[in-house]
Amino acid sequence: MRKEVVLITGANGEIGHDLITHLTEKENTNILALDVMPLDEELRPKCERFIQGDILDNMLLGRLVAEYEIRAIYHLASILSTKAEFNPETAHKVNVEGTLNLLRLAVEQAGWQGRPVKFLYPSSIAAYGLPSIEAKAKAGKITEEEWCRPITMYGCNKLYCEHLGRYYTTNYRQLAADQSPSGIDFRSIRFPGLISAVTTPTGGTSDYGPEMIHHAAAGKPYNCFVRPDTRLPFMAMPDAVKALLDLEKAPKENLTKLVYNVTSFNPTAQEFYDIVMKAFPKAVINFVPDDARQGIVDSWPGDVDDSAAARDWGWKPDYNQARAFEEYLLPAVAARYQS
Ligand code: SER
């Protein structure tokens, strides 16, 4: 018999760290972890198995189908927005073809199991693209359907993979004689910038938030690459994990969308700076805007409307801005860099 597992791709990334810890400690889940990078030592005992490998390796994915009964997939592996601009075609391969490979794997799994396989897909505010800072200021909270004109390769990839998820869920092989559904139960969340106390991001454009706080706590000077007036929605990592788990558990009949916005707080970079300076008064932080990265952040919304998630699956963040900093981020990052 094949062992029942939950597959997590990009397991060693920021979301992966917290998700693995939560799924094993609170829900006793058997995790099959996959990442191109080695998995951090402290995560290994929490997983049924870790495989260091590439989501573009179809032979590897084929072997997983043979060995495991995968009841759900958290497909977290991705090349983030800044990194993707340095090699857009590679990013497309990893972000789109990689997702397609995982969707194909999910179809096969659902077929063998005779039941739907849940496919949890983190999308991003990068799926949006506002044409100017004036439009951004005027738009306010935007819904899932507005301003979907991304200007980055990563944003295009995320938006397209949302559409792929919709296709596999509702129109897969629609001309086939048997018309059988794919068996994929695709659910996606458009995340704002995420801030973790235990990891730092690699290659995103919302990174100035987490980088400011981690540099300050580590006693390292930091040049913030956006203007002080720059506003983005953010969320503390425990809320991001909660959102994924809550959406996974939501009864399907309650879901009116396949893709949901979530958010928590949306400070300007100046507000971020003020909070960090108050906590670490000796920190050295300068604003040195990088025009190109600023342009990307300026195209992302300053706030999003997450009322559909609240209505359909009871979404509500545990950490507002004050609680995120005072009870989660500041004490944990201070402790992390003291030792
Ligand atoms: N945090 C991501 C990035 O900056 C957005 O999803 O690329």
Atom of ligand 1 nearest to the CA of 300: 5
Mutate to test the pocket of ligand 1, among 158, 162, 202, 207 (most ligand atoms within 8 A of CB): 207
User: Rounded to the nearest 5°, which phi and psi values hold at 234?
Assistant: -135, 170
Q: What is the pLDDT of residues 131-150, one digit of tens each?
A: 999 999 999 999 999 999 99
Atom of ligand 1 nearest to the CA of 152: 7
Q: Is the beta carbon of 109 within 6 A of some atom in ligand 1?
A: no
pLDDT score for 179: 78
Q: What percent of the chain has pLDDT over 90?
A: 94
Which pairing describes strands 285-287 and 234-236: parallel, antiparallel, or unpaired? Answer: unpaired
pLDDT score for 308: 98
Q: Is the beta carbon of 81 within 6 A of some atom in ligand 1?
A: yes
Give the side-chain half-sphere CA count within 13 A for 30.
10
For residue 214, CA distances in Å to 240, 260, 297 come to 19, 29, 20
Q: Is residue 199's pLDDT more than 80?
A: yes
Q: What is the pLDDT of residues 257-310, one digit of tens each?
A: 999 999 999 999 999 999 999 999 999 999 999 999 999 999 999 999 999 999
Atom of ligand 1 nearest to the CA of 80: 7
Q: Is the beta carbon of 299 within 6 A of some atom in ligand 1?
A: no
Atom of ligand 1 nearest to the CA of 82: 7
Q: Is residue 123's pLDDT more than 90?
A: yes
CA of 82 to the centre of ligand 1 (A): 8
Mutate to test the pocket of ligand 1, among 78, 80, 244, 266 (most ligand atoms within 8 A of CB): 80
pLDDT score for 218: 95
Mean pLDDT along residues 12-17: 97
pLDDT score for 26: 85
> Rounded distance, CA 339 to CA 336, Å?
6
Q: Is residue 339's pLDDT more than 80?
A: no
Q: Which of 234, 218, 237, 238 shows the shortest CA–CA distance to 226?
A: 234
Give the domains, in start order, of the chain with CATH numbers.
3-197+235-265+301-320 (3.40.50.720)
Q: What is the mean pLDDT of the chain?
A: 96
Q: Using an 8 Å Cβ cutoff, are 263 and 233 in contact?
A: yes
pLDDT score for 202: 87
Q: How confident is the model at residue 180 (pLDDT cuts 50, 70, 90)?
A: confident
> Rounded distance, CA 320 to CA 254, Å?
26
Q: Is residue 124's pLDDT more than 70?
A: yes
Atom of ligand 1 nearest to the CA of 123: 6
Q: Using an 8 Å Cβ cutoff, are 104 and 73 in contact?
A: no
Q: Is residue 94's pLDDT more than 90?
A: yes
Q: Is the beta carbon of 126 within 6 A of some atom in ligand 1?
A: yes
pLDDT score for 31: 97
Q: How confident is the model at residue 28 (pLDDT cuts 50, 70, 90)?
A: confident
> Rounded distance, CA 206 to CA 192, Å?
8
Mean pLDDT along residues 108-132: 97
Mutate to test the pocket of ligand 1, among 124, 152, 157, 158 (most ligand atoms within 8 A of CB): 124
Mean pLDDT along residues 48-52: 97
Q: Is the beta carbon of 206 within 6 A of some atom in ligand 1?
A: yes
pLDDT score for 88: 98
Q: Using an 8 Å Cβ cutoff, are 37 and 12 in contact?
A: yes
